[in-house]
């Protein structure tokens, strides 16, 4: 009955993914390639998790 009050976990993951990509872009612009690659790798892991959620339903 109150399913509309429950948050969508995909929305939360997507927000975290976007934040990681933005932080990675900022690090790259500042010349910090090591941090850029770390953040990009973390964002990629989040993306794979999102894709897995989409396949399940």
Residue 37 lies in a domain: yes
pLDDT of amino acid 9: 87
Residue 27 lies in a domain: yes
pTM for the full model? 0.82
Tell me: pLDDT of 2 over 70.
Answer: no
Q: How far is CA 32 from CA 17, 19, 35, 40, 48, in A?
A: 19, 17, 6, 12, 25
Concatenating the DSSP letter of every residue in 1-57 gives --GGGSPPHHHHHHHHHHHHHHHHHHHHHTT-HHHHHHHHHHHHHHHHHHHHHHHH-
Residue 50 and residue 14 in contact, taking contact as beta carbons nearer than 8 Å? yes
Tell me: pLDDT of 3 over 70.
Answer: no
Q: Which domain holds residue 35?
A: 8-56
- Number of compact structural domains in the chain: 1
pLDDT of amino acid 7: 81
The predicted model gives 4-14 an average pLDDT of 85
Average pLDDT, the chain: 91
């Amino acid at each position: 009955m109150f399913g509309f009050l429950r948050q969508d976990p995909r929305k939360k993951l997507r927000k975290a993914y976007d934040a990681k990509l933005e932080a990675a872009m900022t690090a790259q612009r500042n010349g910090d390639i090591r941090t850029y690659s770390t953040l990009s790798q973390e964002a990629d892991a989040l993306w794979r998790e999102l894709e897995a959620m989409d396949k399940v339903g």
